[in-house]
Amino acid sequence: MTGNWQILAAVLLPLLGAIGIAATGTRPNLRETVTLATAGALTLIVWSLLPAVLAGGRPTAELFRPLADLPIAFEVEPLGMLFAALASLLWIVNSVYSIGYMRGNQEKHQTRFYVCFAIALSAAMGIAFAGNLLTLFLFYEVLTLSTYPLVAHKGDAATVRQARVYIGILLATSIGLLLPAILWIYNATGTLQFTSGGILAGHIDGPALGLLLFLCVFGVGKAAVMPVHRWLPAAMVAPTPVSALLHAVAVVKAGVFTITKLIIYVFGIDYLFAEPSAGWLIYAAAFTVLAASIVALRQTNLKRLLAYSTIGQLSYVVLAAAILKPLAEVGAAVHIVAHAFGKITLFFAAGAIYTACKKTEIDQLRGIGRRMPWTMAAFTIGALSMVGVPPTAGFVSKWFILAGAFQSDNFVAIFTIILSTALNAAYFLPIVFRAWFREENVAPPSNHGEAPWPAVLALTITAFLTLAFFVGNQPVLDLELQLVRPQP
């Protein structure tokens, strides 16, 4: 264990937190204090790395050396810094929300829930800071396994069946496709180190490169590029805080983050751009964006709609990365943040509605805006961000992705973005309209108010972040422009 202490602390602290949570399981208030304290400390530690990285530094650390020349090692670079900063910050907000949600719904096994959550966050930090593919793969699998108990939380037969889909697809793709891809890369290049400009040039070329890209993209099942997306709707059986932080931020973003990182640091964008056999990725991503939006149009359950919206939005990131132009790569990174703020808000809102009045179907939401004005205002902001309307975060990322697409005259990407914007509007705006402008249709009229205050506080914060990101995105841009600027 050597190197930068903040990196090691970021990976190990949530694990210590998990032990603390397990030890204080009998006293809920103390247990939640441990969660919040861990989340807060983690955020401080992660964010304290930011100045160094902004200044162009690349802190490194090493944990173990399982294989002779393949250490479990970390190196902070802009993309991972962004992902870690995002996940740690939202963990605090999400923990506040979880307290409201889990207590409001009197969920069982709350200690197990918080323990697994902390382990999942440790894995997310490991993925973010991974310095080589082996490390990334290790934490990728830890993330899959630690989230399984969260998805299966309810424990009844239907939930377990869905959770089986979840773990089945994620493990099968990672062991079946990603692991052979990693070994192939290692065998061909003799290294798995993430390197600016990629490591494959001169080792693998021609159709083999396209095949390797195929193994990587579908091996990273967490990115939910169709047809390996089925686990995401299945995971919606989890309690809403899990859907919010893990299936809108940590897990799915770990997926698209991995793909983006592979494209930039293993394949190399210029090398991949010059290889025609890698061109299929943009079509696969475009297809997923459009198909997911069309499926979302037909959903009647709010969480499932959000799940399909997530699948579409994730492929935006993949699409942006697949454009293989500098501005689009920045767009991919920015969209990871923008979508995270918006989608976590939407999930928080869905969970708050469920906690307040047990409503899960879109049809039941008529007139709910008057009963839960804060929640629905936040929901509206989140929905606008998904569509990409100013002044929300979604607009910023779409701007960069489009700019990147124009850089390479990539009309497939441009067309996809425009069409999917329309589709996003078509499935989100009716919900917003119904919530604010239609009369309630339940008899007898319900008389619920807002969800417990921690939940409302959390969704207000994330809605605010969604708006704030529209004006305050400069630090993120500064960080991510380093990705495409040649290193000094």
Partner 1 sequence: MTLTAQLPALQVVLPMLTAPLVAFLRLPQLSWLATTVASATAFGIAVLLTQAVLGTGTLDYAMGGWPAPYGIALAIDEFGALLLLIVTGASTIALLAGKASLDQQIESARQPLFYAGWLLALAGLSGIVMTGDAFNIFVFMEISSLAAYMLVAGGPDRRALTAVFKYLIMGTVGATFYLIGIGLVYMMTGTLNLADMEARIAEVADLKPILVAAGFITIGLALKAAVFPLHAWLPNAYTFAPHAVTVFLAACSTKVSLYVLLRFDFFVFQGNLERHDVQFAGFLLPLALLAILVGSLAAVFERNLKRLLAYSSIAQIGYILLGASCVSLLGLTAGIVHMFNHALAKGALFLAVACIGVRLSRLWVDDLAGLARQMPWTLAAFVAGGLSLIGIPGTAGFISKWYLISAALEQGLTGVLTIVVIVVSSLLAVVYIWRIVEVAYFGSRDAQSPPVSEAPLSLLLPTWFIVIANVYFGLVPALPVDLASAAARSLLGHLL
Of the candidates 171, 201, 297, 403, which one interacts with partner 1 according to CB under 8 A? Answer: 171
Neighbour-count burial for 386-406, b at 16+ CB within 10 Å, e otherwise = bbbbeebbbbbbbbbbbbbbb
**Which of these ranges, 3-11, 26-34, 148-156, 394-402, lies near partner 1 under the rule CB under 8 A?**
148-156
Residue 194 within binding range of partner 1, rule CB under 8 A: no
**CB 206 to partner 1: min, Å:** 17
Residue 467 within binding range of partner 1, rule CB under 8 A: no
Looking at the DSSP assignment, which residues form a beta bridge with residue 361?
301
Residue 183 within binding range of partner 1, rule CB under 8 A: yes
| DSSP H helices in 175-230 | 179-189, 207-219
Residue 186 within binding range of partner 1, rule CB under 8 A: yes
Can you tell me whether residue 70 is helix, strand or coil?
Answer: strand
Q: How far is CA 229 from the centre of its chain?
A: 14
Structure tokens at 196: 């600016």
Can you tell me whether residue 132 is helix, strand or coil?
Answer: strand
Residue 438 within binding range of partner 1, rule CB under 8 A: no
Residue 422 within binding range of partner 1, rule CB under 8 A: no
Task: For residue 488, say if its preceding peptide bond is cis, omega within 30 degrees of 0.
Answer: no
Residue 203 within binding range of partner 1, rule CB under 8 A: no
User: Helix axis angle, 133-151 relative to 251-261, nearest 10°?
Assistant: 160
**CB 184 to partner 1: min, Å:** 7
**CB 238 to partner 1: min, Å:** 14
Closer CB to partner 1, residue 134 or residue 458? 134
**CB 276 to partner 1: min, Å:** 24
466 near 381, Cβ under 8 Å? yes
Of the candidates 102, 138, 357, 405, which one interacts with partner 1 according to CB under 8 A? Answer: 138
Q: How far is CA 8 from the centre of its chain?
A: 22
Q: Compute CA distances 365 → 70, 86, 358, 376, whole Å.
A: 53, 31, 11, 10
Closer CB to partner 1, residue 2 or residue 441? 2
From residue 311 to residue 340, the character string flagging contacts with partner 1 as x (rule: CB under 8 A) and all else as - is ------------------------------
Residues 151-170 that bind partner 1 (CB under 8 A): 152, 155-157, 160, 164, 167-168
**CB 7 to partner 1: min, Å:** 17
From residue 54 to residue 83, the character string flagging contacts with partner 1 as x (rule: CB under 8 A) and all else as - is ---------xxxxxx---x-----------
> Residue 365 gets which letter from DSSP?
G
The C-alpha atoms of residue 329 and residue 400 are separated, in whole angstroms, by 9
393 near 342, Cβ under 8 Å? yes
231 near 165, Cβ under 8 Å? yes
- Footprint of partner 1 (CB under 8 A): 63-68, 72, 134, 137-138, 141-142, 145, 149, 152, 155-157, 160, 164, 167-168, 171-172, 175-176, 179-180, 183-184, 186-187
